[in-house]
Structure 1
Amino acid sequence: MKNLTIIGLVLLALSILLFYLTATNFTVNDIGMPHIMGILGGIGIGLIIGGMVGYVSKGSAIKEEQRRKEFKQLQKDKEDLEKQAADIARREAELRNHENQNPQI
């Protein structure tokens, strides 16, 4: 979002510069229909671009959150499997010890 703000400020500064370069001796009373149409067009373009960027950013954020959840779930599954493997190994060791202590004839 910081990048969008910087780009917006740069474009605003550029539009102000171009306006003053083309409209010398400009007063508030000189504002006419072309100026209003330009302002409304700029707002419309800004809203369209902002909407597209917002849509893409939100989609990326949702996908990243989903990846984080899947990664956490995989870590939890790995820990559970390690616990099960340790439990199975412990049981096998106990069984071997029991068989070694009580051999069957």
Structure 2
Amino acid sequence: MKSLSITGIILLALSVLLFYLTSPNFTVNDLKMSHIMGILGGIGIGLIIGGILGYLSKGSAIKAEQKKKEFKQLQKDKEELEKQAAELAKREAEFHSQNQNPQI
């Protein structure tokens, strides 16, 4: 989101620069309805683009978080299975040692 804000500021500065280059003698008294419509249109387009990009970046962040949770769960499952396998191997070794050395 920080990079989107920086991009928005750069585009805003560029639009101000282009506006002042195209009309160097502009004053507040020269502000017409077409200027206001252009400003509102630019704000609207910026909000639409920002909303779409925000939605996409939030969706990818949620997917990344979900993958991270799944990975942690798989690691826990793997550790649990390894513990069970070690315990089963220990029991099997004890069983074989008892069968090889029968007590009378």
TM-score (norm 2): 0.94
Displacement, 1:103? 6.7
Distance in structure 1 (CA, Å) of the matches to 2:6 and 2:63:
25
Distance in structure 1 (CA, Å) of the matches to 2:25 and 2:43:
25
- Within 5 Å, give how 1:30-69 maps onto structure 2: 30-69=30-69
CA-based RMSD of the aligned residues comes to 1.3
User: Unmatched 5+ residue regions in structure 2?
Assistant: none
Matched letter for residue 59 of structure 1: G
Distance in structure 2 (CA, Å) of the matches to 1:71 and 1:35:
53
Count of matched residue pairs:
104
Distance in structure 2 (CA, Å) of the matches to 1:19 and 1:31:
12
Distance in structure 1 (CA, Å) of the matches to 2:92 and 2:24:
91
TM-score (norm 1): 0.93
Does residue 77 of the first structure (1) align with residue 68 of the second (2)?
A: no
* Deviation by residue 1:34-79 (Cα, 9 ceiling, x = unmatched): 1100110010000110011011011101110110111011101100
Matched letter for residue 83 of structure 1: K
Distance in structure 2 (CA, Å) of the matches to 1:5 and 1:55:
15
Structure 1 moving runs of 4+ over 6 Å: none
Higher relative contact order (CA 8 A, sep 6+): 2
